[in-house]
Amino acid sequence: MHHLHGIHLFVEVAKTRNFGRAAETLGVPKSTLSRQIAELERAVGVRLLNRTTRKVELTDAGHLYFERCQRIIDAAQVAHEELQTLAETPSGLLRVNMPSDFGTGFLTEVFTAFSERYPEVSFYLDQASPEHASRVFHRCDIAVEIGERPGSTHIARQLGALYGYLYASPAYLSRHGEPRHPEDLTGHQCLTYRAENGRAWRWPLSRGDALMEITPHSRFSINSMTMMHGLILQGAGIGVLARVNSVQADLASGRLLRILPEWHAGPYPVYAVTESRLLPAKTRIFIEFLMERLNGGSAAPGEFASRPASSLPLPGAEDEII
């Protein structure tokens, strides 16, 4: 395999029948070209070229070798051009793993818009479970993860951060009263979201510059925001929900009430996780598109906080190994 470079040089000389012109085309000194062809001839054990002061001719062995090697060089060039196209034009199957609730609440519009812009891309969307990327990359190209970064050797690009809000049902509040300050939550039944690592999400609460973290008392540990929403509606307790359309509809109908309205929960960072920094166009451009849409208004107002524009990571830049 270490003779491939010499083969490339030989093919160019054989095509031009002239060391000077071949050297100019290849961008190497004529003396270097002559020496490397001589090394190739020693490696194959036969003379490939007859050289005189006036011309260069192929030997019988040289003709045979040129016929075989030209096909090799042409195939390599085609493969190189195909890879360049693959790196520049999104196409093929894009496999994405994501938390089911985040996919349903935020990404459906993103996938639709991306498919319209890049019709050569098809999708395999995996929402079956919130598995961590270290266990899903055998069947996905990119994993969207929310919350604390688990330890691994994959590459994470932070897309932004999610905020949530505290909700309860009128029935629950009529039985237990309404908290007036985050410290009052310790006396209430709270519903906590369980992250993939098995730990419940903490409740970092903020109001302007005021920050505090609550570890709520909970009888329910849940890994589905849809179930969380349903339990809150049934009066099981107070929980944190994203401000998606279904929650907004329940607020409008009075089935849900937002409590501690001047406080919000979060931020919970959102990452695009890949196995490598070297990404095909379909993956690289989807990450850029996802960041653009989430930070550009496809999420509910006040729901998704972007990183500052000056710090948004370009492909291969500001990646974090997690």
Statement to judge: residues 73 and 118 lie in one domain: no
Q: What is the pLDDT at residue 302? A: 42
Instruction: Give yes or no: residues 54 and 143 share one domain.
Output: no
Last residue of a domain, one of 63, 88, 113: 88
Of the chain, the end-to-end C-alpha distance in Å amounts to: 36
In this structure, the answer to whether residues 171 and 217 fall within a common structural domain is yes
HEC assignment per residue over 146-210: ECCCCCCCCEEEEEEEEEEEEEECHHHHHHHCCCCCHHHHHHCCEEEEECCCCCECCEEEEECCE
Q: Which residue has the higher pLDDT, 264 or 197?
A: 264
**Do residues 200 and 254 share a domain?**
yes
84-135: per-residue pLDDT in tens?
666 677 888 898 988 877 777 778 888 999 999 999 999 988 875 544 444 5
Do 137 and 283 touch, CB atoms closer than 8 A?
A: no
Residue 24 belongs to domain spanning: 4-88
Model pLDDT, residue 320 = 44
| CATH code for the domain in which residue 262 is found | 3.40.190.290
Exposed/middle/buried for 120, CB within 10 Å: 0-12, 13-18, 19+?
exposed
Q: Which residue has the tokens 């994470």?
A: 156
Same domain for 207 and 142?
Answer: yes
Nearest to 19 by CA among 8, 30, 5: 30
Q: Are 237 and 227 in contact (CB under 8 A)?
A: no
pLDDT at 269 over 60: yes
Alpha-carbon gap, residue 253 to 268, rounded angstroms: 28
Nearest-angstrom CA–CA distance, 322 and 307? 18
Report the C-alpha gap between 91 and 282 in whole angstroms.
Answer: 6
Q: Same domain for 44 and 152? A: no
Rounded Cα distance, 215 and 213, in Å: 7
User: Phi and psi dihedrals of 163, rounded to 5?
Assistant: -115, 150
Q: Please say if the pLDDT value at position 237 is more than 90.
A: yes
Per the CB < 8 A criterion, the answer to whether 137 and 275 are in contact is yes
The last residue of one of the domains, among 43, 62, 88, is 88
Distances, alpha carbon 173 to alpha carbons 12, 188, 216, 218, in Å:
83, 10, 17, 16
Same domain, 266 and 188: yes
187 in the same domain as 98: yes
> Does one domain contain both 123 and 237?
yes
- Of 43, 69, 88, which residue sits at a domain end? 88
What confidence tens digit (pLDDT) does each residue in 23-35 have? 888 888 988 888 9
Same domain, 275 and 134: yes
Looking at the structure of the chain, the number of domains it has is 2
Tell me the three state secondary structure of residue 217.
coil
Q: Tell me which residue has tokens 């419940």.
A: 200
Q: Using DSSP, state whether 145 is helix, strand or coil.
A: strand
Token pair 């989807």: residue: 286
Q: Residues 68, 161: one domain?
A: no
- Together in a domain, 165 and 239: yes
pLDDT bracket for residue 174 (50, 70, 90): very high
